[in-house]
Structure 1
Amino acid sequence: MTVLEHTPTNPAEASTLRALEAEAIEIIREVVAEFDRPALLFSGGKDSAVLLHVALKALAPAPLPITLLHVDTGHNLPEVIAFRDEIVARHGLRLHVAAVEDWIADGRLTERPDGTRNPLQTVPLVDTIAEQKFDALLGGARRDEDRARAKERIFSVRNALGGWDPRNQRPELWNVYNGRHAPGENTRVFPLSNWTELDIWRYIEAENVALPPIYFAHDREVFERDGMWLTSGPWFGPRPDEKVVTKSVRYRTVGDGSCTGAVESSARTAAEIIAEVAASHLTERGATRADDRLSEAAMEDRKREGYF
């Protein structure tokens, strides 16, 4: 049985977190045992921070035999990049950065008219997997985030182009995982699949997981667009008709600054965020990610092309 650093006072919550952590540890150890060149997708966001925390715990006291991979849009908030680099230095980890800027500079990608770079991450990701010969990628995606993620297996085999076929998935009965793959294929693995946003925050509190400060309420200059509070940056905004105001906000998820919004909040501790999330009726992506609002099947369409 795994031991949480700070056991929650609610026995049911503590039991749930122990079970979720134990499952994630088993999956990570299975990946290390089955694959030759695994990588862990690390953006500096809360889910990847929890995934890295569990991975370090799963393989301690040995050094982490997994490369961290970040597909950097160039439009990430500076606090997140600073946190990413701090964590890498603190634990002596290997980090490979695939910068979307490089693909734009050499003509492999073209900047979108709307300035959003999240959809541009797919090509650098697939190219980097091929160049680095990664055969498994651990990601922090969870089933409660989106309907496309809800129907994906924990071990998800992708074709040579990184594409996902929702009709061609392997059964995972009794938590038996199948990592076999043909030459050119790679496997995406999601150890946190069965966690919820609330589980993530309860675990962050219990384990004292470090996060970028933007996850907690702070005063920030923002402007409203399509019902979201966005931050000014090297993307298209604010427009002349979009007024910049100062509000107490926090981010529920982090990503490309052009399409990731903040929410008004006064929650400055993990405990206060847990109370806030427990009362919310929207997932973090549904509330704050404009790229998921493009269509009902926006996430699934991107996953078919090779997205996380």
Structure 2
Amino acid sequence: MRTPPVNAPSVRSAAPSQAAPSHAAPSHAAPAQGGSHRLSQLDMLESEAIHIIREVVAEFERPVLLFSGGKDSVVVLHLAAKAFWPGRVPFPLLHVDTGHNFPEVIAFRDETVERLGLRLEVARVQDYIDDGRLHERADGTRNPLQTLPLLDAIAAGRHDAVFGGARRDEDKARAKERILSLRDEFGQWDPRNQRPELWNLYNGRHTVGQHVRAFPISNWTELNVWRYIEREQIALPPLYYAHEREVYRRDGMWRATGPVSMPRATETVQTRMVRYRTVGDMSCTGAVESDAASVDAVVREVALSTITERGATRADDRISDAAMEDRKKDGYF
């Protein structure tokens, strides 16, 4: 895939402490004997993802991209920018804001949207709590409360396709899901009644009221994502890299102190060098101890990991063995 030149609407930059280069060409495999060219694994994954994005835009009238500022949605946005360069990304972004997000991630989200000249739609969980449509959970986490605002935003925007950054290696429920996954008139997913997907043929048929979730990086792994971030020099929120933070231990995870994430009387606050593998709610997302302060260091660290980022750091996925699947059936990401 040809890399956009200097003036392309790229989302790339260097590691958090470095200045962003204006252009960095990806490293492609050298031509084989006889003049043939063999694509690297990252080239093939990129090509597949860009094909999916273009197919969805060609087949659907009002697609939208779920964009939280997390690494997977940032990568999907980067792929969309490459897919439609030199034009702008031809669809808006949508974020379901729980009100419990890390401030660094919200700042990064807004800066990215402004820099690329895109339109951001925000559905706020707090609005639903204020008017009584939703109620705070006893455990304090708001991640499971995102479903209703998401489905309402999809209906209000008349979005018939919703891009997401989910990957099959994250969770067994996501491993079951097709690249184009149909949601019924109530936004629900039936894992037992999915359409077959043969080769790269994607079935986007749907009726009025239904919509499709599209997952361009479904076949990627966490290591693929980080190697692509390294190759493309994609900017991320700084908390993905090692930094000192006040944390406390709960359920085997380091939780950050904050207005919506306070320690109990029996929990001791410590200052640790940590980073985040995923950036959900502060109230349910744990950090990992790490000294990986650069992209290449994170790549090496992830290559040695035997636990997915959600399995290691997301308390909301530990509610039950089928926590993710139960939420997805109701319309969750």
TM bracket (short chain): over 0.9
Deviations, residues 47-70 of structure 1 (Å, cap 9, x unaligned):
000000000000111111111000
CA 1:14–1:206: 2 relative to 1, 3 Å: farther
Correspondence for 1:191 among 216, 225, 231: 216
Correspondence for 2:186 among 150, 161, 174: 161
- Residue 242 of structure 1 and its aligned partner are, at CA, apart by 1.1
- Residue 236 of structure 1 and its aligned partner are, at CA, apart by 4.8
Distance 1:5 1:47 in 2: 21
- Residue 272 of structure 1 and its aligned partner are, at CA, apart by 0.5
Structure of greater Rg:
2
SS of 1:173's equivalent?
Answer: coil
1:1-308 correspondence to structure 2 within 5 Å: 1-3=1-3, 5-7=25-27, 15-308=40-333
SS of 1:28's equivalent?
Answer: helix
Distance 1:82 1:165 in 2: 36
> Are the equivalent residues in 1 in contact too, given 2:29–2:40 (CA < 8 A)?
no
SS of 1:17's equivalent?
Answer: helix
Question: Where does the alignment leave 5 or more consecutive residues of structure 2 unmatched?
Answer: 4-23, 32-37
- Residue 5 of structure 1 and its aligned partner are, at CA, apart by 2.6
Distance 1:234 1:184 in 2: 39
- Residue 6 of structure 1 and its aligned partner are, at CA, apart by 3.1
Count of paired positions: 307
Distance 1:115 1:38 in 2: 32
Distance 1:28 1:116 in 2: 32
TM-score, normalising length from structure 2?
0.90
Aligned equivalent of 2:35:
none
Distance 2:326 2:250 in 1: 24
Aligned equivalent of 2:6:
none
TM-score, normalising length from structure 1?
0.97
- Residue 195 of structure 1 and its aligned partner are, at CA, apart by 0.2
> Are the equivalent residues in 2 in contact too, given 1:7–1:14 (CA < 8 A)?
no
> Are the equivalent residues in 2 in contact too, given 1:2–1:21 (CA < 8 A)?
no
> Are the equivalent residues in 1 in contact too, given 2:67–2:95 (CA < 8 A)?
yes
Q: Which amino acid aligns with 2:64?
A: A
- Structure 1: which 4+ aligned runs deviate by more than 6 Å? 8-11
Distance 2:263 2:27 in 1: 44
Distance 2:168 2:229 in 1: 18
> Are the equivalent residues in 1 in contact too, given 2:274–2:288 (CA < 8 A)?
yes
Distance 1:8 1:200 in 2: 16
- Residue 14 of structure 1 and its aligned partner are, at CA, apart by 6.8
> Are the equivalent residues in 2 in contact too, given 1:222–1:232 (CA < 8 A)?
yes
CA 1:147–1:2: 2 relative to 1, 3 Å: farther
- Residue 161 of structure 1 and its aligned partner are, at CA, apart by 1.4
> Are the equivalent residues in 2 in contact too, given 1:114–1:236 (CA < 8 A)?
no
Q: Which amino acid aligns with 1:62?
A: G
* RMSD of aligned Cα (Å): 1.6
- Residue 280 of structure 1 and its aligned partner are, at CA, apart by 0.6
> Are the equivalent residues in 2 in contact too, given 1:2–1:18 (CA < 8 A)?
no
Distance 2:237 2:30 in 1: 27
Question: Where does the alignment leave 5 or more consecutive residues of structure 1 unmatched?
Answer: none
